[in-house]
Amino acid sequence: MMDAVRARIRDVPDFPQKGIVFKDITPALSDPAIFREVIDAFIARWKGERIHKIVGIESRGFLFAAPLAYALGAGLTVARKPGKLPWQTIREVYALEYGENALELHVDAVGPGERVLVVDDVLATGGTADAVGRLVARQGAELVSFSFLVELSFLHGARRLGPERVHSLITY
């Protein structure tokens, strides 16, 4: 079924800027059978791994993190852009393929000894996920892995995160 998912992901050239080919996952997610297959694949991979918390990365990571947390009986928390979380936060700055940004996590989002899975839609250079991994580590939690719908392997993001800690459903 991942072939069906791959077939529904469209390339959008020059978005968000010239030279970038954006992987648009929304056509795949709009098909209920394909969306179910994606969530079921995430669940199958992480079931039995004793995940305490799932951190969804803003914003498309939320789409996978919430149903996965529900299915695994894990807590859900979110990494957001600066100024979007309403309480005390910690922040990490990271580089994008096309600029720089920062992400924040509530200071009590994850705690010491909790097993944490970080979830997002696409792994590109790994800067965003790496920043979230640093936020998780700063709070004393155990980062189990990073899990993505799509990995753009030609950008070598898994090298940055540690290939043994990266799980991707689809690789380009």
- Active site (catalytic) residues: 60, 97
Residue at 7: amino acid letter: A
Strands (E), 74-139: 75-79, 89-96, 99-106, 115-123
Cα 2 from Cα 58, distance rounded (Å): 23
Q: Is 21 helix (H, G, I), strand (E, B) or coil?
A: strand
3-state SS of 46-74 is HCCCCCCEEEEECCCHHHHHHHHHHHHCC
CA-to-CA separations, 71 to 12, 41, 101, 163, in angstroms, rounded: 32, 12, 31, 25
